[in-house]
Structure 1
Amino acid sequence: MTELMLKYFRSKQQEVQSEKVYESQCPFCSMQCKMQLIKQKVVSRTTYKTIGVDNPTTQGRLCVKGMNAHQHAYHRDRIMTPLLKKEGQFVPISWDEAMEVIRSKFSKIQKEDGMDALSVYGSASLTNEEAYLLGKLARVGLKTKHIDYNGRLCMASAATGANQSFGVDRGFTNSLQEVPYTRCIILAGTNIAECQPTIMPYFEEAKENGAYIIAIDPRETATTEIADLHLQNKPGTDVTLAAALLKIIVEEKLIDEEFLEDRVNGFEKVAQQLDALDLDECADRTGIPKKQLYQAALTFGQEESGMIFTARGIEQQTNGTMAVRGFINLLLATGKIGKPYSGYGAITGQGNGQGAREHGQKADQLPGYRSIENIDDRTYIAQVWGTEEAKLPGKGVSAYEMFEEIDRGSITAMFIMCSNPVISNPNAHFVKQSLEKLKFLVTVDLFLSETAQLADLVLPASSYLEDQGTMTNVEGRVTLREASHPLPGEVKHDWEIMSEIARVMGEGDKFSYQSSEDIFEELRVATRGGRADYYGITYEKIRQNQGILWPCPTINSNGTERLFEEKFAHTDGKALMAQLEIQSEEKKVQLSTQFPLYLTTGRVMSHYLTGEQTRKSPSLAAREIESYMEIHPDTGERYHLKDRMLVRITSPYGSIVVRSRWSNHIREDTIFVPFHWGGEQNVNRLVADELDPLCRMPGFKVTAVHIEPAVNREEILLENSGALYQKK
């Protein structure tokens, strides 16, 4: 072989072996799986491969979404430059032009309509640094009280319930490493097998070790398959169910009297309330045989350890906070909290659902889970931010209520950060119509989502591959998402965008950051002494320990693996049991001749939230190309439907069209529709705008509906254009 040929083959070999490795974390669910993206050039073709990286939470596991996440980051439709709408069309502009438009429009609105006419809508997919900065931007940079975020639609019930019962909300009171060794597990309204697949091995190991698993869900799912007992209750009856289980535990003398005496307030009043509860009526109301109620209660009460995990199934209801507190009551009554292998876990939905609700995106909140209405909290944060306490705005309204304020005319501009409220909110027609009334709408996003299409100005967001920062996962473990991938096009980091807006609004001296770590250093100080105390956490410590479970109040601390071992977070050190308002549950959603079926919503494994990212991944989109209605065959026949036919679903709030999918795994009085699609398949068009009075959570999981064959498709499309809609 000639020397020339050898050089040729060596060059080809080098070309084949050329690769780059990017460290990251999955951008989707709260497991926040660590991973590497390997970009390899093979001759003239570039290939991508994602592999899991070992970590304390998922030990290197990945699900199908994580393995294909990069596809949306490289998608051709990704926004690469600021876009300004001119005569109905988006045109590229420079960053300087974009910032001048924001300065001019925001300043004019502040002058004409007042400071609170500006509003900010955030996201639980942001890093901790960005969530923190967004709250600061709203209150210092824009001087408005109106900020909330899409976590209000996801974790609000669990957060409020835990805060009321325990005095603090960290999602999990224990680490996941304890799950395999508990004796009884209740999974209430959670389909972890599809929503958080990489958590499943913990529960499978628990089952192998002899744990008794109780699943509560109107549907049979991949999660209920691992259960020893499936309580297939009617949608919306979770408060009654929790109360019935507690009544049996009390009557069978399975309570921990010493624990209740020493560490819990409110048990006596709860016990008195339970006296009037009729178990036969509970069985009828929930649709669960009385025998199964006893089986569940006795098993949980008799075992020496137990854990309860809740998720959207019981939380996304207009009494979701009460449902969460009802299940926490079971733990407190039996003393199964603050001990090895016993505790509570809220299965967080979004990637940073935990951290994003701790650092100031919520209307009533300041960083570190401080209250915006507490003078001491306000004074402390004002000092950290270099401003005066009196200059900090007060409490605003919740996410959905901001759209009502737009409709009333008191909010006239909105800045939306990495969220798609047109699809994710209830009463979705109304949300869209409200946004169309704004004088000025700015969105920051990867794509022209359904919401971004309504914007006057769209700014390109950085993806998970490029955006470094900390995320707080399902356990409350603060992790560091490394991000070495270069920014494409003219994309800026999200924190840079916020800092630039603060600068043009005259507050740049308070936003002079050079990196995400700079922001985190300020966040550490802002959270010091708060309920969510991150002060002892640093980037270096996270790297050394592969994450830190907060609270971590000092530099010498390595975090807190198990909460409440000695005391709860209320001022007296005791937990508080909740009296359950069962009567209000009966009136919540009533079936009728006009609307005779329950509709419940949820996720499928291959998609995430509004689907804006996963539907840009060909490998994921191909698994579920359209929405569908899961319905029991007997119910389908009663309504003259066939499997795989187009069906119109109607509620008092709207109508959608999806394809039917027959299943024996759902109650006959219930249908299920996933929420990852927009347009005429947007199931949130059907959901009412009633909110939980305690946490302002909409009732996504229970809606009364009517179904019928969709015969005239053109008529359906006209109806779904919104022309027939009137706000109730």
Structure 2
Amino acid sequence: MTELLLKYFRTQQKVSPKEKRYDTQCPFCSMQCKMQLVEESIVSRKKYTVIGRDNPTSEGRLCIKGLNAHQHAMHHSRIKYPLKKVNGKFVQISWQEALDCIKDNFISIQKEYGKNALSVYGSASITNEEAYLLGKFARVALETKYIDYNGRLCMSAAATAANQTFGMDRGLTNSLAEIPYTRVIILAGTNLAECQPTIIPYFEKAKENGAYIIAIDPRETATTKLADLHLKGRPGTDAALANGLLKVILEENLIDEAFIEKQVNGFAEVKEYISTLDLKEIAELTGVPLEDIQKAGVKFGKEESGMILTARGIEQQTDGTAAVRNFLNILLATGKIGKPYSGYGAITGQGNGQGAREHGQKADQLPGYRSIENEEHRSFIANIWGVEEKELPRKGVSAFEMFEKTDEGEIKGMFLMCSNPVMSNPDANFIKRALGKLKFFVVVDMFMSETAKMADIILPTSSYLEDEGTMTNLEGRVILREASKSCPGNVKHDWQIICEIADVLGKGAHFSYEKAEDIFNELRKASKGGIADYSGITYDRLRREGGILWPCPEEGHPGTVRLFEEGFATEDGKAKMTIVKNKPVVPKEKVSIEYPLYLTTGRVMSQYLTGVQTRKSASLSARNFESYIEIHPKTAQAYNILDNQLVKVESKRGQIVVRSKWSESIRQDTVFVPIHWSGSQNVNKLVGGELDPSCRMPGFKVSAVKVQPFKAE
């Protein structure tokens, strides 16, 4: 009998495997690697294989997250039906019941408290079409000024700095393809090897070609190991370090005078300020040896080409905008931008961190990177949307400030899409308290996240395998994510959910789309003539060409590979250097006798953001199943902490418990905790709510903490 069964199964495997192939791309980091999921049905089980597909950015490479992304999309705990909280518990309801409940509550709140009593909290993981539509939904369907998104916590410092300096913000001013041929690279506050692993071959090729790489990070990481010189600075002193590098460049006369004269404003003022600084004081302030500052400054200044790439390490600070601007000062002083193998790159964190901020999710923006306060911009978009310009709300506030408004009682209702602010925002205990004050809270998500648990209504949304649309990667390359897998249960796409709510609110005429491409075609019109001009990009072109770098103002245009070759996007065509002082405008939290250590945060390769999706993957969770605190052995011994021991980490705002991980690769005055875990391991309980005055970015990367062995009470 056993032999007959084995023979039957072998026969079935040979003659009746059913195979389906789904073309898609990774839903995680900003590389947006193309891939194909192969689903084989063999007897009573399904087997999945992931294949990397060739594309202009990652060239067919995939990392561990992409290879296992499908595991969360197939997970048994996905929300597949609308849920309503009744007596503290969620019960399944129909879509019509959910929509009626939302309609009644939204109308009631606005009738009693005004239009701006409702708010919208968006995401940098949704498609361009959905980001565009969410901005339109807030301003046309809800008529509220309160909309912002989780990308405010990620890219806002770099975006603001680029806009202030160059007149526009696109992830890279040139393309990744130029990296292997540049002569010197500064990686400031980025751990590419763990956060965007498929980008690393570009830098490896650069090294093979003789490039010199300078890494700035308080920790030794897989990325700093790639560098020729590691500047292991004290957390929060990046702006001062950039001043030190610039002083060396000026003293050694390594500037590009012709470039400065023709294309830069503000150089003389910056030069005068830098002359007043003392390199020895900068070395003492930053903790970087003087000789290393001199070596880095001379090397970057002397080479004929160079690039600077920044990320969260220097951006998630209360002076993040100023720090980035200071590194841009270095680029401008040396003339290393707008020409081959030279430029700036902001390493976007979230999958659509670039595109999601271009088309209207930010409090101050309209599609095409237009300003909501500019009368001409308002009129243009109002005409596209078929509304009166005076009906469009004005500027709202940033993401964290919306929770402050909620806590104060000004915001009474919130519509939140694909985000988890209870974990991702600073002062997490405060965020939870503020959300608890809402009269009505709607969450759109795939899973019961820490934030979704607080909702009144949860609407189930589709995964990357099911939801077609465009994304804009870290280069500024618009790419089309194909998605042909059917949605499970009663799941709907984000764009469908937005349209159906708008319809029950009486605004359906403004949201009548049949497919994602219809929305994109309207986005093209809305972006035309704006800084982020997508008007020449079509789905057909994206399928043929694999991706197009914006701006692309007409269908025959090839896209713009390198920005600023003919000048900058400012009124006079010149970039703007600015004085950045060593002492930030918003004081950073200082260590003290009570809180003697600097805490900095970041990511690990196997997890993504708040871990809601990646923690559903058995393969990824097995690699990092709990959080930890990276601490220097000498520091650990000073506080009686053993290796692999539970540790209580405490700041003025809260405490967490994580396991110790001794490491000689981190500064002795600094500890590191990753961001991906919840509950008693949510590191954002320790982070303060002070904001960058320019971009309103919280200062995630510098908090003062104390540590001690954990003792169960």
For the aligned pair, the TM-score class normalised by the smaller chain equals over 0.9
Equivalent-residue separation in structure 1 for 2:589 and 2:298 (angstroms): 30
Measure, in 2, the Cα distance between the counterparts of 1:582 and 1:323: 9
Specify the code of the residue in structure 2 equivalent to 1:217.
D
Instruction: Work out whether residues 26 and 32 of structure 2, in 8 Å CA contact, stay in contact via their aligned partners in 1.
Output: yes
One-letter code aligned to 1:301: G
Letter in 2 for 1:186: I
CA distance in 2, matches of 1:9, 1:78: 31
Deviation (angstroms), 1:14: 5.5
What secondary structure does 1:165 align onto?
Answer: helix
Write out aligned runs for 1:340-359 (5 A). Answer: 340-359=340-359
CA distance in 1, matches of 2:49, 2:584: 52
Task: Answer yes or no: is 1:232 the counterpart of 2:226.
Answer: no
Partner of 2:94: 94
Shift of 1:584: 2.3
The answer for the alignment partner of 2:662 in structure 1 is 662
Shift of residue 582 of structure 1? 1.7
Displacement after TM superposition at 1:572 (Å): 0.6
Change (3 A) 1:8 1:226: closer
Query: Aligned pair 1:178/2:178, yes or no?
Result: yes
For residue 571 of structure 1, report the CA deviation from its aligned partner.
Answer: 1.0
TM-superposition CA deviations, 1:308-337 (whole Å, max 9, x none): 000000000000000100101111000000
> Distance between the aligned counterparts of 2:581 and 2:392, measured in 1?
36
- In structure 2, what residue type is equivalent to 1:226? L
Q: CA deviation at 1:583?
A: 2.1
Q: 1:717 matched to which residue of 2?
A: none
Contact 1:15 1:41 (C-alpha < 8 Å) held by counterparts: no
Q: What corresponds to 2:558 in structure 1?
A: 558
Residues 1:425 and 2:425 aligned together: yes
Counterparts of 1:563-602 in structure 2 under 5 Å? 563-584=563-584, 587-602=587-602
Code of the aligned partner of 2:336: K
Superposition map of 1:103-122 within 5 A: 103-122=103-122
Aligned to 1:497: 497
Aligned to 1:687: 687
For residues 439 and 197 of structure 1, the distance between their equivalents in structure 2, rounded to whole angstroms, comes to: 43
Instruction: State the Cα distance separating 1:589 from its structure 2 match.
Output: 2.5
- Offset of residue 585 of structure 1: 6.8
Query: Is 2:530 the counterpart of 1:530?
Result: yes
Matches of 1:346 and 1:142 in 2, distance apart? 33
The aligned amino acid for 1:230 is: H
How far off is 1:554 after superposition? 1.0
Identity %: 66
1:583-622 Cα shifts (integer Å, max 9, x gaps): 2279422111011100000000000000000000000011
Residue 291 of structure 2: aligned partner: 291
CA shift for structure 1 position 9: 8.5
What secondary structure does 1:23 align onto?
Answer: strand
Equivalent pair of 1:15/1:43 in contact (CA under 8 Å): no
| Equivalent position of 1:722 in the other structure | none
Change (3 A) 1:111 1:26: same
After superposition, give the CA deviation of every residue in 1:166-217 in whole Å (9 maximum; x if it has no partner). Answer: 0000010011000000000000000000000000000000001000000000
Write the letter of the residue equivalent to 2:39.
K
Quote the offset at 1:293 in angstroms: 0.4
* Distance change (3 Å), C-alpha of 1:667 and 1:83: same
What RMSD in Å do the two structures reach over aligned CA positions? 1.3
The residue type equivalent to 1:579 in the other structure is I
1:517 aligns with 2:517: yes
1:555 is displaced (CA, Å) by 1.4
Are 1:15 and 1:42, in contact at CA under 8 Å, matched by a contact in 2?
A: no
Contact between 2:30 and 2:350, CA under 8 Å: does it hold in 1?
yes
Classify the secondary structure of the residue corresponding to 1:353: coil
Hey, what does 2:652 align to over in structure 1? 652
**Secondary structure of 1:470 counterpart:** strand
TM-superposed deviation, 1:43: 2.3
Amino acid at match of 1:111: K
Alignment of 1:123-202 (within 5 A): 123-202=123-202
The superposition leaves residues 664-719 of structure 1 with CA deviations (integer Å, 9 ceiling, x where unpaired) of 1000000000000110100000000000000000000000111111112x4xxxxx
Question: Which amino acid counterpart does residue 512 of structure 1 have in structure 2?
Answer: S
How far, CA to CA, are the matches of 2:101 and 2:412 in structure 1? 16
Q: Which amino acid aligns with 1:350?
A: Q
Q: Deviations over 1:411-463 (max 9, x none)?
A: 00000000000000000000001001100000000000000000000000100
Q: C-alpha distance in 2, partners of 1:9/1:506? A: 57
Deviation readout 1:626-669 (Å, 9 max, x if unpaired)? 00000000000000110011111111111111111000100000
Distance in 2 separating the partners of 1:224 and 1:209: 18
Letter in 1 for 2:280: D
Say whether the 8 Å CA contact 1:217–1:231 is kept in structure 2. Answer: yes
State the partner residue of 1:700: 700
Question: Do the aligned partners of residues 671 and 79 (structure 1) sit closer, same or farther apart at CA in structure 2, a change above 3 Å counting?
Answer: same
Q: Deviations over 1:343-384 (max 9, x none)?
A: 000000000000000000000000000000000000000000
Q: Residue 540 of structure 2 aligns to which amino acid in structure 1? A: E
Say if 1:687 and 1:13 are closer, same or farther in 2 by CA, change over 3 A.
closer
SS in 1 for 2:121: strand
3-state DSSP of counterpart to 1:245: helix
In the alignment, the residues of structure 1 paired with residue 462 and residue 351 of structure 2 have an alpha-carbon distance, to the nearest angstrom, of 15
580-589 vs 557-566, which deviates more?
Answer: 580-589
Partner amino acid, structure 2, of 1:417: M
When residues 46 and 157 of structure 1 are mapped into structure 2, their CA distance, relative to the original with a 3 A threshold, is same
- With the length of structure 1 as denominator, give the TM-score of the two structures: 0.96
TM-score scaled by structure 2?
A: 0.98
Pair 1:383 & 2:378 matched: no
Partner amino acid, structure 2, of 1:243: N
Q: Distance in 2 between matches of 1:431 and 1:51?
A: 40
- The 8 Å contact of residues 119 and 147 in structure 2, kept in 1 or not, is answered as yes
CA deviations 1:286-322 (Å, max 9, x no partner) are 0011100000000000000000000000000000000
Residue segments in structure 2 that go unaligned for 5+ positions in a row: none
Supply the distance in 2 between the matched residues of 1:607 and 1:387 (Cα, whole angstroms): 43
